[in-house]
Amino acid sequence: MIGATTPADVRDRTVLLLLATTGIRNGELRALQLHDIDWRTGEVFVRRTKGKRDRVAPLIEEAGAALADYILRARPKVDSPYLFLSFTPPVGPFKCASPVSRIVQRRLRHSGIEFVGGAHLLRHSLATQLVEQRRPINEVADLLGHRSINTTALYVKVATSQLAEVALPFPGGVA
77 is known as an active-site residue: no
From 13, 25, 30, 75, active-site residue? 25
Catalytic residue among 123, 135, 147, 157: 123
Q: Is 13 noted as a catalytic residue in this protein?
A: no
Out of 50, 53, 73, 147, the active site residue is 50
155 is an active site residue: yes
**Of 143, 101, 137, nearest to 120 (Cα)?**
101
CA pair distance 100, 132, nearest whole angstrom = 27
Is the bond leading into 90 cis (omega within 30 degrees of zero)? yes
Catalytic residue chosen out of the listed positions 11, 13, 55, 146: 146
146 is catalytic: yes
Annotated catalytic residue: which of 82, 102, 107, 120?
A: 120
Residue 120 annotated to the active site: yes
Instruction: Please confirm, yes or no, whether 95 is among the known catalytic residues.
Output: no
Q: In angstroms, what CA-CA distances link 23 with 10, 101, 145?
A: 20, 15, 9
> Annotated catalytic sites, by residue?
25, 50, 120, 123, 146, 155
